[in-house]
Structure 1
Amino acid sequence: MVDLTRRSLMATSTAAALGASVAGVASASDSEISEGDTPGAPSAKGSLKRLSTTAFGAEVTGPFVFEDGSLLYSLQHPEGQNQKPFDRAAVGYFSGFNFEFDGNNDDFPEVGIPDTEAKQRQVRSEVGDYEILFQGRQPINGDEERIGVTQTPDGTDINQENFAGTQYGGAGTNPDCNQFVATDEDGTEGYLFTNWENSPGCISRIFISQDENGEWSADPEDAMNLPNTDAFRDIGGTRINCYGDLSPWETPISSEENYAHPRVSLTNTVGDVVEAGSGEGILGACQFWNRPNPSEIQGAVDEYDEVEGWYIQGSWAMTGVEFLAYYLGAEQSDQSGDTNLATTPIDDVYPNPYRYGYHVDIREPTAEDPEPMKYYVAGRASWEAPDIVGDQKTIYGCSDGDSKGIYKFVADEPIPSYENTDDIAGTLYAPKITNDAVNAEEAGQRNSPADTNLEVEWLPLGHAANGEVESWIAEYDDVTQVDYLETHADTDWQEDPAAAIKEADLDVIENGNRNYITNEEIVEWAAQYEANGPDGVDEDLRRVPFLETRAAAKEIGASIEFNKAEGVDSVDDAGPGDFVYFGISEFNDDLADETGDVQMDRVDGGVVYRAELEPNHNVSTLEPVIVGPDFTDGPQDADDALRNIDNVYAMRDGRVLCCEDGFGGPARSYPNDGLYVFQPNVQVDVDSMAVGYGQTGQVALTASSLPTGFSGAEVTVSVSNPEVASITGVEFSEGLGLTESSMSNDGSAVTIRAADTDRNVQAGGRHVPLATLTVRGDSTGTTDLQVGVNQMDNEDGNPIDANARTGVLVTGPPTVTGGSAPTDPDGDGLYEDLNGNGRLDYEDIEILFSSFDADSVTMNKSAYDFNENGQLDFDDIVDLYQKVN
C-alpha cells in the first residue's frame, strides 16, 4: 500500500479521486542525495515478463495461484470513472489461463503497455478475461452485511455515511491479500479469505468453487466478514489488513499494516528524545494515539507557536482510530464542533494501540466460527506480510513505510506443535547490515544497489511466550482519550476543551505519553541490553522490544533503514537452498542518505532481493535480483521495468509473481500498475560445509532449476586457498549419460563435463543435482569454493543464462588431542564433538571456549551456532555446556 513518507506529505487530487486509503503517490523522495543514472537500474537477473496491467487508479495486490495453475488478484481502489466493472474494488481471476509450473515464462504471452485511455481503464492481459468473482460492498448474509465492511456490535456499518470522523480508506474499497483454503481433495472448492485494508480492518471469507470447465464462481450467500464475530471483537478486532500468507499448516494469515506505530519519526531514536529533554521535531504518531481527534495532531503541531512543526510519522494513519473504538462498542463522540477537536472525548471504550500491528492467524478456517490469534511474540510493526518457512518455526516479516525494518522470529518448537497458542515461545530479531555500502576505493563514490549484496546479522531483541506478551498488552486496555487529557493537562477539559488539548499536546511533546510505555523505559531497556544482553534485562522491561519493536531495534543500533519493505515470500515449505524474496518498493531516503549502515545510490523504482535459506533456515545475504528504474529514466527504460514492488508471490516452480504499487509516478509513458512474472536465471551452486582437519567431506554441485531443460554443461570448481583444502574426487549424478572430469595435480580445481544423452533431467525441477565433490581438509582455516560456468545448454542446444555462487569450506578447529578432527555426532549440521573422539564431553566445551576467536570458528557460524540465533556468541558455549549436562 502507498505510504505517506517524507517524500510526499500532502494529498493529491489523483489519490482523492481514487478514494485511496492513503494520499500519496510513488515519486522521487526529498533525500539530500540527488538522483543520477544509477548503474544497473533497471535490470533483472532473469526473465521479467508482464502478464497483466490493472485498471486506472488501482494497485495490483493479493495474487493467488490455485493448485491447477489458475490465477486471481485484487482490483484495489480503482477510479470510479473507469468503465464497468472496473470502477469498483473487486477480486477476479483470469478465465481460461493456467500456469504450467515448469519454471518457464513461455507459458504466457506478454501484454503490451496500455497506450490508450480505453486500455488504461480496464484490467488487461493476453491470457484470458479478468472475470470478477465479487466486489466490495456487495450484499451478503441476507443483506445484513456488505463484503469488506466492518460493523459495530449492534450491526451498523462503520463508514462515513453513518459516523462522523475520519476513516482509513473507504469501507470495502481496498481488497488486498487473498488466500484459499480448499474443502475438497481436488482443490476445486473452498473458502477464499480476502484482506480489506481499512480501519477498522476487515477479512472476508467467501465460498468459491470451480466447475468442470475450469471456471470459478463465488457464493455470496456463504460469506462472512470475520471481524463482525465475537471471537474477533474479543481480541480487539484488526486494523489495516494488508497482505499475508498461507501457513504451512494451511491457515490464512493476515498482516496488520499499522502505520501509526512509529514512536519517533524517521531516523530519530528515543534516546534522542531523552537527551534533548523534549520530543519536539522527533516524536512519531503513536505518542498521540489516545488524543481526541488523533489524526489532526499534524495540523495542530503546525499551528502551535510554542513548537516548530515537523513531520509526525504515521499521523495520517491515525484516521480510523475512533471508528475502531465504535467497532468495539464505544458511544459515538460529539464531533459537531471544531474539526480539530472532538467536543466530547471517548471515555467508555477505546482501542489499545498495543493490540494492533501483528500477524493474525485464522485457526480452524473452515469452521462456522473461525478462531483468530495474533502472533504478539513476533513483534509489532506496520506488517505488509510474513513468510513462514519450512521448519515451521522461522517467520520473516517486512514492515512497510519509511525508515522501517525487516524482522525475524524463531519459535522454540514448530508452531503447530503448541497445543495452546499462548505457549508459542521464541526469539525476536532485528537486522544489522554489516557490509560497507560506501566504495572505499574512491571517496564519495557510492555503490549501486544493483551490484551490492547486503550482509545481515540478526540481533536478538528478546525471548517471550505469546500469552506472556498478551498479558503485558492487557495492562493498557483501559486507557481512553480522557486519560490523555487528565494525565497531561491541568486544565479542566470539560470547561475548556481547546485549552486542555493544547496543554496536553505540548506536555506529550516535552515529556512523552505517560499512558503507555515511557521513553525512559525504552532507554533503560537498551542500556541493560547493552550491558547484560537480551536475557539480562529487568523483568518489567522485557515487554519493550515486543510492544515497541521499531523503537527498541533503533535504540540498539539495528539497521532500521528500509523504505517500504512491501513483500516477502518463498516457495511452500521452503528449506535449505531455497530462496526467500524481499521486495523493497523504494531504495531511497535512509538507504541513500549520508547516515546509517546503507549509503548507496538511490533507485526510486525499488529493488527485489533474494536470500538463500541456510541449514538452520537463517538468511544472511540479500542479493539484488530485480532493480527498478531511476525516476530520471525515460519511458524507453521504464516502460517494461518493474516499478515499486508490492506483493511478491513465489510459485512452486521457483518463479515469482511481482505486483506493482507505483501508480502515478514518473518515468513511464502510462500510469497503470502491472503484474510481472520473474523467471530467475539458473544458478549453479556448490555447498558450504565444515570438514575436520585431515578428514574428507562431500559437497553437492547443483543447479537451482532448469526451466528449459538441459543437454549438457562444463563447470569448473576451484579452491581459492589450496593450503587449506583440496578436491580429491567427483561423483556424477545418476542419469547423466556422458560424464568426465579433469583434476589439477594439486587438487585445487576440477572441471566436470556432462551430457544428458537420455533426457533424464526434466525441465522445471528445482535443486537439480549435477555432481558431488569430495574435499579434504589439509590445514586449519577457511577457503572459498569458487564455481565457474564455462558452458551450459538447454535441451534445444541454446545457451542457458547461469549465475554461479561461491561456497565456503572451513577446516578445523585445531584440537588438544593430537589433531583429531571435529565431528557432527548427531548429523544436525552442528559440530558438537570438537576433539574428534566421537562424543560430546567437557573437553569439547573447553576447546570451543579457547578457539572462539579463531578464523576456523568465526568463519563457520553455521557449524558452531548452537543456540541457532544466526550468529556466534557466548550463549553458544553455554548451550553446548548444557547439552553435556
Structure 2
Amino acid sequence: MVEFTRRNLMATSVAAALGASVAGVGQATEPEDPDTPRAPLVRGDLTRFSTTAFGAEVTGPCVFGDGTLLYSLQHPDRENPAPYDKAGIGYFSGFQFTFDGENEFDELSTPESNEERRAVRSAAGDYELLGRERDPINGGTELLGVPQTPDGTNITSENFSGSQYADAGFTPDCNQFVPMNDDGTEGYLFTNWEASPGNISRIPLSQTEDGEWEADLENALNLANTEALRELGGTRINCYGDRSPWNTMLSAEENYGHPRVSMTATVGDIVEKGTGKGLRGAHEFWNRPNPSEIQSAVDKYYDESWYVQGYWAITGVELLAYYLGADPVDQSSSGNDLTPIGDTYPNPYRYGYIVDFREPAAETPEPVKYYVMGRAGWECPDVQTDERTVYLASDGDSKGIYKFVADRPIPSYDDPMDVAGTLYAPYVTNRDAAVERPPADVDLEIEWVELGHASNAEVESWIAEYDDVTQVDYLERHTDWEEGNEVTPDILEAADRAVVEDGNRDYVTDEEIVEWADQYERRGPDGVDEELRRIPFIETRAAAKEIGASIEFNKAEGIDSVEGARPGDYVYFGVSELNDDMSNEQGDIQLDRVDGGVVYRAELESDYNVSTLEPVIVGPDASDPADIADDALINVDNVSVLDDGRVLCCEDADQFGRSYKNDCLYVYTPEERGRGDDDGGDHDRGHGNDPDGHDEDNPGRGRGRGRGRGQFL
C-alpha cells in the first residue's frame, strides 16, 4: 500500500493553480514543438486501409462475423459530392478480413487529388452506404439520427433556435452489430449519434446470398424517442461504445460538460484560495439560463478570465430540456433570451454513463444506465471476459482512465439495478514517467485507487435527489431574484459571480467533496459518512483528483481487447494527444510532448487487472513534415481489436504537416516478441530523429517507484 499526506500535496497544487490563474487555467501559451526522439514510431506494422471523405472522422469501426468492415462517415464537409456530403453508415462491399494475422490488402496510397480527398477510399472493396442522416425510418414517422420531443416534433435547428451541440443526424459514431441467428447474417446494427439530446438508432440488417448487406430502414428506430429511454432522462453525446460479452450494445455518454474544476485544479484548490475564480469548470453552470454562454460572460466579467473547461459541451442542454417535455422559452433568431426554463430541466447527474440496451431484439430494448461505473466524459468501455472487470476512458483534457469491478458477473444479476461493485482510478507510480523522456521509452506503471463501493440502485437514488432543479433555481438560489420577475443581465451576472465564488449550491458542494476526501484519508474509502458515499460516483473526476489519482490523461479515446480475451491477451488504450498534463511539470506524468498521441497496450493478468501500459504506437510531433506525417497515425480515436489480434486504429486528426487533411483508418499488426529483445531493427518502424527506430540517447526504462498519493487498497 502506498501512502501520502494529501494536504502536503494540496499546498503544492494550490500554488501551481494560483500561478496558472493569472493567465487563465488552460490558456497558457502553446510551447514550441521540439522533435521528440522516436516519434513517430510503431512496434510492429501500421498499414493504411482507408481515407475518409474531407471533413469527416473515421468513427465506429465494426467487423461482422464474415470479416466485412463497416464504419461511420461522421460530419463530412457539405461541399463534398454526393453521397459524401451527408453523414452516414457504410460497409466495404467486396472485402473481408480473414483473421489469419496477415493483411489481406496492399496499403492504400495517400489522397492526391481533390476528387480523392472528397470521397471515401479503401485499399480493397467499395464503400456502400446503408443509411444517411435524416433518412425516413420507422414507417416514415422519424428521421435517422434525429430525437423528438414527446409530441413528436423533430429537434432540429429548423424547429428550435438556441445552442446546438451538433446538427441532428450529422454525427454517427459507434456501431455495434448484435446478431440474431447462428451464422451472423441477420441482426440489429446499433449506432450512436454524438449530439445533445443524444440518440442511439437500431437498424435491422441482413446479408444477401451474394454477401451484400441490406438495411431495413422502414423498421429502424431512434431509441431516443422510446418512452423507456426518455424515462431515464435520455442521453447526451453518445460517442463510442462496445458490444458486451452478453451480446448487447453498450453506449458511452461522452458528457464533456461534467468538469466542475478546470484543467489541473482541484476542489481543494478552490477551498484553499477562498474563491473559484480561475478554477471553475462547466458543470457549475449547467442550469444557468443560456449555459453555453458562460465563457463569454466570464471573459466580460473578469479582467483575468480563464478557460471554463467543458463550456462548449453544455450547448444543447436546453434542447435536452425540450426533449424531456419542457415548454420552450421565448426565443429570438440569435438564440434564447434570459427567460429561465422552470418546468422541466435535465439533472446533470443523469448524464455521463455507460448505457446497456438489454433485450436488443425486443420491440423496445430495455435501457440500463450503469451509474455505479462512475460519471465522466466516457469515450468507451471495455468489458472483460470475466463479465466483472470494465476499463473505461474519459475523453478530454486532464481526465482519467478508470476501472470498475463488479462483485459478481454483471449478467448474473436478475435486476441490473442491483449490479454492485468497486470503482477505481489510476495512479502512475514509476519515476521515469515523471521526467522528460520520450513516450516511446516509458511504460506507465499503474496502481488502482479504490474510490468507493456501491450498487447501481444506490447511486440512482442519490442522483434522484437533484431531479427537480431548474434554471429558475440557479437565479433564486444565488441572488435575491424571485420567479415571475424580469431577468436582467445584472441579475444573471450576480448569479454567475456567486457561483464562481462559492460554487453552485443546487448540486454537490465544494465542502462536501473536500470533507469526503478528508474522511477518505483518515478512514479509507469504506469509512466515509453515508451521505458522502455518493461523491466518487457522481463527481468522479473531482473526487479522483482530490485524493491525488493520476487524472492527467489527455483525450483517452479508445479501449478495446480481443473478443473473449483471457489473461495474457492485451487491452489497447488510445491516447489521442500526449501533451498538457501528460507533458507539463505537474503531476505523475511529465513525458516529452507528442501532439500526435500514443497507443498503449496492457497485458491482462490472472485476475483481469492491468498494471503496465506499454507504448506500441507513437504519433508524430506537430512540427514533423509531410514525409513523416503522411504515413503516421495522428490523434488516434477509436481502436478495435480483430479476432486475430490486429488492431483497427481510427483517426480524428489535426492535419499537422500532412500533405492532405483526410482522416485515415489503419490496421496495426503488433510484433510478437517482447520489448526486452528490442534491438532497434525492423520491428520498430521509426521516423523523425531515429529513422530506424533505434535511439542510443535513450537506453532502457526505469522501474523505480514514485512518491505515494492516496490510500491505494
Tell me the TM-score normalised to structure 1 length.
0.73
Could you say what secondary structure the match of 2:431 adopts?
A: coil
Paired residue type of 1:34: E
Return the match for 1:610 from 579, 601, 610.
601
Q: CA 1:98–1:29 in 2, change beyond 3 Å: closer, same or farther?
A: farther
Asked if 1:463 is matched to 2:453, the reply is yes
Q: CA 1:224–1:303 in 2, change beyond 3 Å: closer, same or farther?
A: same
2:353–2:373 Cα contact (<8 Å) kept: yes
Match of 2:339 in 1: 344
| Mapped partners of 1:379, 1:51: distance in 2 | 36
The alpha-carbon deviation at position 872 of structure 1 amounts to: 13
The alpha-carbon deviation at position 371 of structure 1 amounts to: 0.4
| Mapped partners of 1:345, 1:319: distance in 2 | 15
The alpha-carbon deviation at position 30 of structure 1 amounts to: 5.5
Q: CA 1:581–1:98 in 2, change beyond 3 Å: closer, same or farther?
A: same
Return the match for 1:430 from 416, 425, 432.
425
Match of 2:56 in 1: 58
1:432–1:559 Cα contact (<8 Å) kept: yes
Asked if 1:478 is matched to 2:468, the reply is yes
Return the match for 1:656 from 647, 650, 658.
647
1:335–1:343 Cα contact (<8 Å) kept: no
| Mapped partners of 1:792, 1:513: distance in 2 | 56
Could you say what secondary structure the match of 1:152 adopts?
A: coil
1:432–1:456 Cα contact (<8 Å) kept: yes
| Mapped partners of 2:548, 2:678: distance in 1 | 38
The alpha-carbon deviation at position 642 of structure 1 amounts to: 0.5
Match of 1:499 in 2: 490
| Mapped partners of 1:788, 1:336: distance in 2 | 64
Unaligned runs of 5+ residues in structure 1 are: 1-27, 441-445, 686-785, 794-800, 802-857, 860-870, 876-885
Match of 1:314 in 2: 310
Could you say what secondary structure the match of 1:380 adopts?
A: coil
Paired residue type of 1:674: C
Match of 1:160 in 2: 157
| Mapped partners of 2:619, 2:583: distance in 1 | 15
Asked if 1:529 is matched to 2:520, the reply is yes
Match of 2:12 in 1: none
| Mapped partners of 1:54, 1:602: distance in 2 | 27
| Mapped partners of 2:461, 2:577: distance in 1 | 37
Asked if 1:191 is matched to 2:182, the reply is no
| Mapped partners of 1:150, 1:251: distance in 2 | 22
Match of 2:322 in 1: 326
| Mapped partners of 2:499, 2:679: distance in 1 | 61
1:389–1:617 Cα contact (<8 Å) kept: yes
Asked if 1:489 is matched to 2:479, the reply is yes
Match of 1:99 in 2: 97
The alpha-carbon deviation at position 658 of structure 1 amounts to: 0.2
For residues 438-463 of structure 1, the C-alpha deviation after alignment (integer angstroms, 9 at most, x for no partner) is 687xxxxx210011100001000000
The alpha-carbon deviation at position 126 of structure 1 amounts to: 2.3
Match of 1:374 in 2: 369
1:491–1:499 Cα contact (<8 Å) kept: no
Match of 2:134 in 1: 137
Could you say what secondary structure the match of 1:678 adopts?
A: strand
Report % sequence identity: 64
2:176–2:190 Cα contact (<8 Å) kept: yes
For residues 15-60 of structure 1, the C-alpha deviation after alignment (integer angstroms, 9 at most, x for no partner) is xxxxxxxxxxxxx996665321111111100010000000000000
Could you say what secondary structure the match of 2:233 adopts?
A: coil
1:566–1:583 Cα contact (<8 Å) kept: yes
Match of 1:557 in 2: 548
Could you say what secondary structure the match of 1:348 adopts?
A: coil
| Mapped partners of 1:153, 1:183: distance in 2 | 31
Q: CA 1:294–1:789 in 2, change beyond 3 Å: closer, same or farther?
A: closer
Q: CA 1:873–1:188 in 2, change beyond 3 Å: closer, same or farther?
A: same
| Mapped partners of 1:653, 1:516: distance in 2 | 47
Could you say what secondary structure the match of 1:133 adopts?
A: strand
The alpha-carbon deviation at position 788 of structure 1 amounts to: 9.3
For residues 634-687 of structure 1, the C-alpha deviation after alignment (integer angstroms, 9 at most, x for no partner) is 111110110100000011100000000014x321110000000000001359xx
Paired residue type of 1:329: G
Q: CA 1:337–1:631 in 2, change beyond 3 Å: closer, same or farther?
A: closer
Q: CA 1:634–1:191 in 2, change beyond 3 Å: closer, same or farther?
A: same
2:50–2:665 Cα contact (<8 Å) kept: yes
Return the match for 2:42 from 44, 49, 53.
44
The alpha-carbon deviation at position 600 of structure 1 amounts to: 1.1
Asked if 1:296 is matched to 2:293, the reply is yes
Matches within 5 A, 1:435-446: 435-437=430-432, 446=436
Q: CA 1:32–1:130 in 2, change beyond 3 Å: closer, same or farther?
A: closer
Could you say what secondary structure the match of 1:567 adopts?
A: strand
Asked if 1:108 is matched to 2:105, the reply is yes
Q: CA 1:29–1:478 in 2, change beyond 3 Å: closer, same or farther?
A: closer
Q: CA 1:671–1:872 in 2, change beyond 3 Å: closer, same or farther?
A: closer
Paired residue type of 1:207: P
The alpha-carbon deviation at position 212 of structure 1 amounts to: 1.2
2:449–2:712 Cα contact (<8 Å) kept: no
Higher relative contact order (CA 8 A, sep 6+): 2
Paired residue type of 1:97: F
Paired residue type of 1:228: N
The alpha-carbon deviation at position 874 of structure 1 amounts to: 9.9
1:646–1:660 Cα contact (<8 Å) kept: yes
For residues 69-112 of structure 1, the C-alpha deviation after alignment (integer angstroms, 9 at most, x for no partner) is 0100000000011011111000000010000101112x111110
| Mapped partners of 1:389, 1:395: distance in 2 | 6
1:60–1:75 Cα contact (<8 Å) kept: yes
Could you say what secondary structure the match of 2:576 adopts?
A: strand
For residues 709-758 of structure 1, the C-alpha deviation after alignment (integer angstroms, 9 at most, x for no partner) is xxxxxxxxxxxxxxxxxxxxxxxxxxxxxxxxxxxxxxxxxxxxxxxxxx
The alpha-carbon deviation at position 791 of structure 1 amounts to: 13
Q: Which has the larger radius of gyration?
A: 1
Q: CA 1:428–1:439 in 2, change beyond 3 Å: closer, same or farther?
A: closer
| Mapped partners of 1:662, 1:463: distance in 2 | 38
Alignment coverage as a number of residue pairs? 665
| Mapped partners of 1:787, 1:109: distance in 2 | 29
1:579–1:610 Cα contact (<8 Å) kept: yes
Match of 1:452 in 2: 442
Matches within 5 A, 1:784-803: none
1:269–1:554 Cα contact (<8 Å) kept: yes
Paired residue type of 1:464: A
Could you say what secondary structure the match of 1:45 adopts?
A: strand
The alpha-carbon deviation at position 308 of structure 1 amounts to: 2.7
Paired residue type of 1:35: D
Could you say what secondary structure the match of 2:236 adopts?
A: coil
Q: CA 1:159–1:337 in 2, change beyond 3 Å: closer, same or farther?
A: closer
Tell me the TM-score normalised to structure 2 length.
0.90
Return the structure number with greater strand share.
Answer: 1
Paired residue type of 1:347: G
1:585–1:606 Cα contact (<8 Å) kept: yes
2:199–2:235 Cα contact (<8 Å) kept: yes
| Mapped partners of 2:680, 2:649: distance in 1 | 31
Match of 2:352 in 1: 357
| Mapped partners of 2:636, 2:624: distance in 1 | 17
Match of 2:663 in 1: 673
For residues 151-198 of structure 1, the C-alpha deviation after alignment (integer angstroms, 9 at most, x for no partner) is 000000001111121111000000000000111111011110000000
2:403–2:423 Cα contact (<8 Å) kept: yes
The alpha-carbon deviation at position 498 of structure 1 amounts to: 2.1
The alpha-carbon deviation at position 500 of structure 1 amounts to: 1.6
Match of 2:8 in 1: none
Return the match for 1:275 from 272, 276, 282.
272
Match of 2:259 in 1: 262
Return the match for 2:539 from 510, 532, 548.
548
| Mapped partners of 1:677, 1:29: distance in 2 | 36
The alpha-carbon deviation at position 335 of structure 1 amounts to: 2.5
Paired residue type of 1:394: T
Return the match for 1:571 from 536, 540, 562.
562
2:276–2:500 Cα contact (<8 Å) kept: yes
Return the match for 2:408 from 413, 417, 424.
413
Q: CA 1:662–1:792 in 2, change beyond 3 Å: closer, same or farther?
A: closer
